[in-house]
Chain A
């Protein structure tokens, strides 16, 4: 058992449902107790979906517990087949159903005899994979299923398109800014004169999946969903794939260069050098912005990064290599992808954190005291408590992360939006100096803004008053270091004298 208040990645079935609900005309049936269909609420609320979420539950209740599901699951699949006429029904196990150990595969086989639609069982283990891994797995499973089916019916089309073309793999419902990113990716490929063959699973029909091999190569913008599919297609059809997230100028450049190489391997000579230079210099404002005098004050500012592997790695790279920000540590909750993540960021920051425990992340933020945080909704709230600004760069999401206006993270427009996000997250320029000079514009008494509760030493009223005069953004650090000094020197109470002594002896 694990004591947990918060989790970064949801349970496995959420991943499966995100894939199922991304496709057109695919229906998911959860084998779940009453109340587990919370996914529908999220889809309808966060994405403000106008359509009914194509997810229903085959309810597991007392009777199911006593006698097994028997015909119930099959009837529900057949009923849904008649009502909605989907192309595919995905039976989705939940954590509850997986410990019942019913033979769901058998239900699927029996149901598929009676249905017009295809029926498959999502192959995910609830106690071994999380939401993100499950979405990756389910997408690959569906693609494999339809490629096999097309092969059997000889409808598979492996003839490459005449023009260079690409499949974009991994645009998923409830994904962090996926819809905005997709717009910018389309623009990017349009600019590069690469035709988009298929975008999956986003609103594509499963019967179109047989067209996947027509593309020259596959593009996986996010590591969390799509890599397994790309690897399968690489094995099956020898299709090359690119898994560089085009987030930030450097990454975009790497991704485009890789495309150039792939096209060259197909005897299609393209030179994108000019394009990259033009975009970097004039279309994206980010490169110039980081050069501009306004951003000089970013030098030496500290930040920490935490999020999913894709966004945290890209963000770390942008902050360090493109903006000159000092990233104290960078971390991810994608434990399964830690080797890749470590490899990406370890030369960019002093420490790499791999954890899915938000308490640890909170304590790390409290002790390292960065000037700004780039994290998830959880880090935003940690930042609020510690009075440190935070830019949200990754799921888990909140309704605020589904803005109506155009806010991509990928592509050249994405670099602009990220530059704004970074700039707005720091207190910069004159404001910074003025705060320094006048001891901050907050006159509130709250000085205990650390998460780690340390009651070993007490503060005298005088010293506490003095502490309030220290500018807000360094106050926490001074407080902590003084406490450390007092503990080391066995002072029980921190008086003004102790405070000054600490300032002199310990380099605060």
Chain B
């Protein structure tokens, strides 16, 4: 393929009739990440039912989240929003003593125009607990974008100077300190911190931190960088409201992405990367046992969590052919460096640039899957079993958001997930002669 056509490879946009999780699902990982938090989802039974079922067993472990379930009186404004929220928040304060309460706005609060942002500061002063409002609703956002809305709201709360009574003698040196945004499990945070420490980069902190009270200081002209592709609002907020400088880089997913991420940070801080090439090569060598299984095989991303571009880029580098990358929402500026890396990866691997389909239509996609017969479809749970029954290998996309996939160390994890359906087939003696498991009626 010539350079000109690969440059012209455009983006398509379909009807938006696709399956994904509601963005309020972000509470399931954020309440675990932010240890002193409590998430109050202000919505209806529908929201509650989704969370209850999507979170599975987590729900029984006394999670630090709850529904403020709206009743008919709330919808018709017979009840006073402020008084109702105050009553519930006082109860939460009494039972759980959280360090911060997050209010998650939903479709319903949008439609009835409940002024959460207006109520929060008053109530915050009255009950003396910080209240952060995030509108993670299905009218505007998909799945992981929920985290984006929460982090964007938190970005406003990061302190801009050190408290005087803070006895720690950490001095802020703007020249080579960095704030990273994106919620990752603690050990992945440590791993990435260590990778950057080896390059002489100091991390001032992460947004979010383990505790709300430990949010990092962000000052004008500080450098910030994201670890996940779905954090465009957070990036925008940090740039526009906090006047921070965004480092635009591919995301640290896969050894190629991680190298590019670290390299870009080093460039910004005027450091020559040390031993990165070797480190990447070493990881690729370790991955060979997996890559040999998928080399030359084809993949199709139906699209539901915004990790798709980064994962597709990594899989192409592993030798796969990607037919289509469905994605709920494509921020071409925030993901610019990632798309560029995808493009160069395709050139290096001499494969066609995959079609990027924004707001896909699942019905049409299933049609295309039927025609293309890809070796692997990365999709949501609604389609996985029916596709498997039709002899098409699938991988549940949500697992990528819960598994540890960032950095050099966890590259293996991604391929563990990707190759699982293929490895299953190797040892699997087919119990029936036909691969199609659909009863005829």
User: Is the CB–CB distance between A40 and B111 below 8 Å?
Assistant: no
A-B interface contact total, Cβ < 8 Å: 159
| A40 & B45 in contact (Cβ 8 Å cutoff) | no
A residues in contact with B45, CB < 8 Å:
7, 10-11, 95, 126, 130
Q: How close is B377's CB to chain A, nearest CB, in angstroms? A: 13
Whether the pair B383, A44 counts as a contact (CB closer than 8 A) is yes
A51–chain B nearest beta-carbon distance, Å:
6
Give complex CA distance A460, B422 in Å.
59
Within the assembled complex, what's the spacing in Å between the Cα atoms of A369 and B4? 75
Interface-located stretch among B71-79, B203-211, B287-295: B71-79
**Minimal beta-carbon separation of B133 from chain A (angstroms):** 16
Within 8 A of B (CB), among A85-143: 94-96, 99-100, 126-128, 130
Closest-by-CB residue of B relative to A42 is: B53
A50 at the interface (CB under 8 A from B): yes
CB distance from A483 to the nearest CB of B (A): 21
- A130 to B49 Cα, complex, angstroms: 11
A96 touches B52 (CB 8 A): no
**Interface 0/1 of B225-261, CB less than 8 Å to A:** 0000000000000000000000000000000000000
- Interface contact B22-A99, CB-CB below 8 Å: no
- State in angstroms the CA–CA spacing of A194 and B24 once bound together: 51
Beta-carbon contacts of B423-441 to A below 8 Å, as 1s and 0s?
0000000000000011100
Q: With a CB–CB cut-off of 8 A, which chain A residues contact B380?
A: 41
Neighbouring A residues of B75 by C-beta, 8 Å: 99, 127
A44 with B110: CB separation less than 8 A: no
B54-75, CB < 8 A from A = 54, 59-60, 63, 65-72, 74-75
Contact of A381 with B384 at beta-carbon distance under 8 Å, contacts A6-B52, A7-B49 already known: no
Contact check, A33 vs B139: say whether CB atoms are below 8 A apart. Answer: yes
Partner of A50, one of B48, B140, B385: B385
Q: For the complex, is B349 an interface residue (Cβ under 8 Å from A)?
A: no
Q: Is B296 an interface residue (CB 8 A)?
A: no
Closest Cβ neighbor of A48 among chain B residues = B385
Report the interface size for chain A: residues with CB under 8 A from the other chain: 50
Stretch at the interface among A57-65, A250-258, A287-295, A431-439: A57-65
CB <8 Å contact, B108 and A41: no
Chain B residue at minimal CB-CB distance from A64: B139
Query: Which of chain A's residues has its CB closest to B439's CB?
Result: A50
The verdict on A261 contacting chain B, using a C-beta distance below 8 Å, is no
- Interface digits, A1-25 against B, CB 8 Å rule (1 contact, 0 not)? 1111111001101100000000000
Please indicate which of the listed interface residues B49, B52, B70, B366 has the most CB atoms of chain A within 10 Å of its own CB. Answer: B49
Which residues of chain A are near B139, meaning CB under 8 Å?
A: 33-34, 60-62, 65, 96
Chain A residues within 8 Å of B384, by CB:
44
Is B321 close to A, CB under 8 A? no
Q: For the complex, is B389 an interface residue (Cβ under 8 Å from A)?
A: yes
In contact, B59 and A53 (Cβ under 8 angstroms): no
Within 135-149 of B, Cβ neighbours of A (below 8 Å) are at 137-143
List the B side residues contacting A100 at CB < 8 Å. Answer: 111
> Does A243 sit at the interface, judged by CB under 8 A?
no
Q: Is A266 an interface residue (CB 8 A)?
A: no
- Binary contact readout B356-394 vs A (1 if CB under 8 angstroms, 0 otherwise): 000000010010000000000000111111100100000
A39→B347 CA distance, assembly (Å): 41
- Measured CA separation A24–B311 after assembly (Å): 38
The answer to whether B382 touches A1 (Cβ under 8 A) is: no
The answer to whether A5 touches B59 (Cβ under 8 A) is yes
Decide if B385 touches A127 in the complex (CB within 8 Å). no
Are A35 and B386 also in contact (CB < 8 A) when A1-B69, A3-B88, A4-B67 are? no
Contact A2 B386 (CB under 8 A): no
A455 at the interface (CB under 8 A from B): no
- Name the distance in Å between B329's Cβ and chain A's nearest Cβ: 11
Q: Which B77-132 residues sit within 8 Å CB-CB of chain A?
A: 79, 84-85, 87-88, 91-92, 107-108, 110-112
- Stretch from B13-21, B151-159, B178-186, B264-272 contacting the other chain: B13-21
Q: 1/0 contact trace for B12-40 toward A, CB 8 Å?
A: 00001101111110000000000000000
Instruction: Say whether B197 faces chain A, with CB atoms less than 8 Å apart.
Output: no
- The smallest beta-carbon distance between B364 and chain A, in angstroms, is 10
Interface pair B110/A4, CB less than 8 Å apart: no
Assess the B70–A128 pair: CB atoms within 8 A.
no
Q: Does B176 contact A (CB under 8 A)?
A: no
Instruction: Select B68's contact among A1, A6, A61, beta carbons within 8 Å.
Output: A1
Q: Check if A371 is an interface residue, CB within 8 A of chain B.
A: no
- Are B52's CB and A35's CB within 8 A? no
Query: For B42, what are the chain A residues with a Cβ–Cβ distance below 8 Å?
Result: 1
Beta-carbon contact of B19 and A128 below 8 Å: no
B102 to chain A, nearest CB (A): 15
- Indicate if the CB atoms of B63 and A45 lie closer than 8 Å: no
Pick from A32, A38, A59, A128: contact of B49, CB under 8 Å:
A38
* Interfacial chain A residues near B49, Cβ < 8 Å: 7, 10-11, 14, 38
Which residue on B lies nearest to A72, using beta carbons? B15
Out of B48, B381, B439, name the residue touching A7 (CB < 8 Å): B48
Report the Cα distance A500→B437, complex, angstroms: 67
Contact A60 B107 (CB under 8 A): yes
Q: Return the contact of B17 from the options A3, A48, A56, A127 (Cβ within 8 A).
A: A56
How many whole Å from B431's CB to the nearest CB in chain A?
14
CB-CB nearest in chain A for B59: A6
Out of B44, B85, B110, B363, which one reaches A126, CB within 8 Å?
A: B44
CB of B46 within 8 A of chain A?
Answer: yes
Q: Mark A162-190, 1 if CB is under 8 A from B, else 0.
A: 00000000000000000000000000000
A34 adjacent to B108 (CB under 8 Å)? no
B11 close to A (CB within 8 Å) = no
Chain A residues within an 8 Å CB radius of B16: 34, 59, 61
> Which residues of chain A (248-278) have a CB below 8 Å from chain B?
none
- In Å, the complex CA distance between A409 and B38 comes to 40
Interface flag for A71 (CB, 8 Å): no
Cβ of B50 < 8 Å from any Cβ of A? yes
Partner of B79, one of A1, A83, A99: A1
Residues of A within 8 A of B386 (CB): 44, 49-52
A40–B19 CB distance below 8 A:
yes
Indicate whether A37 reaches chain B with its CB closer than 8 angstroms: yes
Given A50-B439, A57-B17, A127-B75, A99-B382 contact (CB < 8 Å): no
Q: Is A36 an interface residue (CB 8 A)?
A: yes
CB distance from A379 to the nearest CB of B (A): 11
Most buried by A among B48, B87, B366: B48
Nearest Cβ in chain A — how far from B213, in angstroms? 25
Question: Are B52 and A95 interface neighbours, CB within 8 A?
Answer: no
Known A2-B68, A4-B48, A59-B16; judge A53-B382 contact (CB<8 A). yes
Contacts of A3 in B (CB 8 A): 66-69, 88, 91-92
The 4 residue pairs across chains A and B that have the minimum distance between CB atoms: A35-B22, A33-B138, A40-B382, A50-B389
Question: In the complex, given contacts A1-B70, A3-B67, A76-B17, what are 20 additional A-B residue pairs having Cβ atoms less than 8 angstroms apart?
Answer: A1-B42, A1-B74, A1-B79, A5-B65, A33-B139, A34-B20, A34-B22, A35-B20, A36-B138, A38-B22, A38-B49, A49-B386, A50-B386, A51-B389, A52-B383, A62-B139, A96-B46, A126-B45, A128-B72, A381-B60
Could you list 21 examples of A-B contacts with CB < 8 Å? Answer: A1-B71, A6-B48, A7-B49, A11-B46, A32-B138, A34-B20, A35-B142, A36-B138, A37-B19, A38-B49, A41-B54, A50-B438, A50-B439, A52-B383, A61-B139, A61-B140, A96-B44, A96-B111, A126-B45, A126-B46, A130-B45
B interface list, Cβ under 8 A from A: 16-17, 19-24, 42, 44-46, 48-50, 52-54, 59-60, 63, 65-72, 74-75, 79, 84-85, 87-88, 91-92, 107-108, 110-112, 137-143, 363, 366, 380-386, 389, 437-439
